[in-house]
Structure 1
Amino acid sequence: MATIEELKHKIATAKDLNSVVKTMKAVAAVSIRQYEKAVESLTEYDRTLEIGLQILLRNQPEILLKQSSTVDGRIGIIVFGSDWGMCGQFNERVVEYIQENQENWSINADDCFILALGSRVCDRLEATGHKCEACFTLPSSIGKITSTIQEMVLILETWRQQNQVNRIIVIYNRILNGATYNSTGLQIFPLNFQWLKKLHQQQWRSNSLPTFTMNKDKLAAALFRQYFFVSLYRACAESLKSEHSSRLAAMQMAEKNIAERLTKLNMEFNHQRQTIITEELFDIVSGFEALTD
């Protein structure tokens, strides 16, 4: 049985840990809202990009439609994970999702290029036999997402031009409802043919005829880069939101367990203290009776 001093130390440790958990809960809750706003801010930017693609489709549809039909060749995979722990099975789910869909995507180790965001998911991937061509540290704030995504876009352009990567898939965890998230895969290249066709048939909202003056190939390349940027930015923000939601749920469970542990320790401490007081009273009574006799 633990002594009074040992119980005091355990109670103090549990209280310190509880304060840390509460702080992490608050940070996670604030971060979730920030990343929600980041995703919402992409709406207008995304609309502008669609207008650019619509203009190119109306004037030079063969450029985009030709790219959307390319399905063979090497594949590039962008994986979003985490750098920090205490977020449940966050990284394990992403790696399991890749393993489950490996055959569907026809992933061959020699023709696959993987770029990972998060040291923990990178370690998980390499442990399952997947080689990471590059590993980025996750942005620590909203402001740092842009620079990180821009570096990734440059790598994707290099893969397309120098390594003949004709398919690019983004894999990340996405919030479904509340704190529930699920791994998902999004093919950002080649572009979805049905989406382009729908965009091509969409009615132009102005009486002015859409056109462009710059070189069509340069315009298409610029639109591709912006499309990659928007898709990766959204995936990064949603992945970070999912990570903090998972961490928030983990901290809520930890807080509940700590509260139960504290209750148990306090009961044990009170019982131990009462036992000691009772023993001391017995000693006093016994001593008094001995003196009286």
Structure 2
Amino acid sequence: MQSLEALSARLETTAEIQSIVRTMKSLSSASIRQYERAVAAMADYERTVTLGLRIVLRDGGVASRPGLAGDVPRGSGLIVIGSDRGLCGRFNDRIGQVARDRLDAGSGSDCDHLCVLGQRVAAGLEAAGHPARRLFSLPGSVGGLSATVHAVAVEIDRWTSAGVGTVSILFNRRVGAALAEPTCWPLLPLPQAFLDDLARAPWPSRCLPIHRMERPPLLSWLVGQRIFVLLYRALAESLASEHAARLAAMQRAERNIAEHRETLAGAFRQKRQEAITRELLDILAGFEAVREDHAD
């Protein structure tokens, strides 16, 4: 049976933990909105890049460039986005399991390059026999998204220079009621159906734009910008999903802590009442003993 002092100390500790959980809930809620706004802000730039690809492809600009048309090199690469911090439920377990399945199956060809963002999922993949060739830390705020995306884009350029033609990105995103749904987007090569649709799509205005740059370098630059947009969106959506999973985990923890605290409070009240009762009985017993002495 715990003493009154021990129960009091546990109540104070539980209250402190509850305060930390509430703070983490607030931070996760604010972070979700920031990353959602970042995804929305990127939509306009994505539309601009898509229009640029459309006008170049309308002019017959599909160049024989690896990842765009012609023979695609057989090498492959996979980018996996997880988290650096825990307390987000099965966020890393889900994405790690999908990544392991893809790597074990080979996805049609052996994965020559593996790039991981997030210490947690990287540790799980390494334990499963799939160490990352490159490991990046995740940005702590929206302001660090661009720098991280640029670093990953540079790594992809190294891959393509080394003969990698197929690159995919695997990440968690919120889909409906699911807080962390593993999603895979192909980065390279650009799907032929996507290119055909762009080339056939009608221009949204009467005036067709013109470009002075040669088609091959312009097309290469636009493809690079499309990769940047997809990487940015995937990273922002993954971080929003991570904070949503952490928010849900903190909400469950807060309910459990509240129930535990109520149980401790009940035990504390019962223990205090028992202590008060014992003190009253001791006082009564002392009073009776003194009265008997006076009576004698």
Shift of residue 207, structure 1, vs aligned partner: 3.0
Residue 87 of structure 1: aligned partner? 88
Using the alignment, how far apart are the partners of 1:69 and 1:36 within structure 2? 37
Contact 2:80–2:99 (CA under 8 A) maintained in structure 1: no
Q: Offset at 1:178?
A: 4.6
> SS of the residue aligned with 2:116?
strand
Q: Is 1:69–1:193's contact at 8 Å kept on the other side of the alignment?
A: no
Deviation at 1:292, TM superposition (A): 2.7
SS of 2:63's equivalent in the other structure is: helix
Distance 2:226 2:72 in 1: 18
- Note the 1:233-252 alignment, pairs <5 A: 233-252=232-251
Q: Which residue of 1 aligns with 2:229?
A: 230
Higher mean C-alpha deviation, range 8-17 or range 91-100: 91-100
CA displacement at 1:224 relative to structure 2? 1.7
Equivalent residue for 2:78?
77
**How far apart are 1:28 and its partner, in Å?**
0.3
What is the CA–CA distance in structure 1 between the aligned matches of 2:42 and 2:135, rounded to whole Å?
Answer: 25
* Conserved 8 A contact 1:83-1:119: yes
Shift of residue 123, structure 1, vs aligned partner: 1.1
8 Å contact 1:114–1:133 — kept in the other structure? yes
Q: How does 1:36-51 map to 2 (within 5 A)?
A: 36-51=36-51
The residue that corresponds to 2:261 in the other structure is 262
Moved more, 208-217 or 125-134: 208-217
> Residue 32 of structure 1 aligns to which amino acid in structure 2?
I
Against the structure 1 CA distance between its residues 280 and 286, is the aligned structure 2 distance closer, same or farther, given a 3 Å change threshold?
same
What is the rounded CA distance, in whole Å, between the counterparts of 1:206 and 1:16 in structure 2? 60
* CA distance in 1: counterparts of 2:229 and 2:27, whole angstroms: 26
Q: Give, in whole Å, the separation in 1 of the partners of 2:71 and 2:237.
A: 28
Are the aligned partners of 1:171 and 1:185 in contact in 2 as well (CA < 8 Å)? yes
- 1:204 deviation in Å? 1.4
CA deviation map 1:234-293 (0-9, x unaligned): 000000000000000010011111101110111000000100111111112222222333
Q: Cα offset for 1:210?
A: 3.9
List runs of 5+ in structure 1 lacking aligned partners.
none
> Which residue matches 1:105?
107
Percent identical among aligned pairs is 38
Q: TM-score scaled to structure 2, two decimals?
A: 0.93
| Change in CA separation of 1:186 and 1:68 when aligned onto 2, cut-off 3 Å | farther
Q: Which amino acid aligns with 2:251?
A: Q
Change (3 A) 1:244 1:69: farther
Per the TM alignment, residue 55 of structure 1 is displaced from its structure 2 partner at its CA by 1.4
Normalised TM-score (structure 1): 0.94
Query: Cα–Cα, structure 1 residues 270 and 68, in superposed 2: closer, same or farther, change >3 Å?
Result: farther
> Secondary structure, in 3 states, of the residue corresponding to 2:9?
helix
Following TM superposition, by how much is the alpha carbon of 1:74 offset from its aligned partner in structure 2, in angstroms? Answer: 1.1
Q: Contact 1:70–1:166 (CA<8 Å) still a contact in 2?
A: no
Task: Please give the root-mean-square deviation of Cα atoms over the aligned residues, in Å.
Answer: 1.7
Unaligned runs of 5+ in 2: none
Match for 1:258: what amino acid?
I
What corresponds to 2:11 in structure 1? Answer: 11
1:61 CA drift (Å): 3.9
In our comparison, the structure showing a higher alpha carbon Rg is 2
CA drift at 1:70: 4.8
Whether 2:146 is the aligned partner of 1:153: answer no
How much has 1:101 moved relative to structure 2? 3.2
Match of 1:276 in 2: 275
Task: Please name the residue that 2:165 is paired with.
Answer: 166
Q: Distance in 1 between matches of 2:134 and 2:101?
A: 22
| Partner Cα separation in structure 1 for residue 31 and residue 73 of structure 2 | 39
Equivalent residue letter for 1:276: A
Distance 1:64 1:142 in 2: 36
Give the whole-Å Cα distance in 1 for the aligned partners of 2:51 and 2:22.
46
Q: 1:289 to 1:43 in 2, by over 3 A?
A: same
Shift of 1:143: 1.1
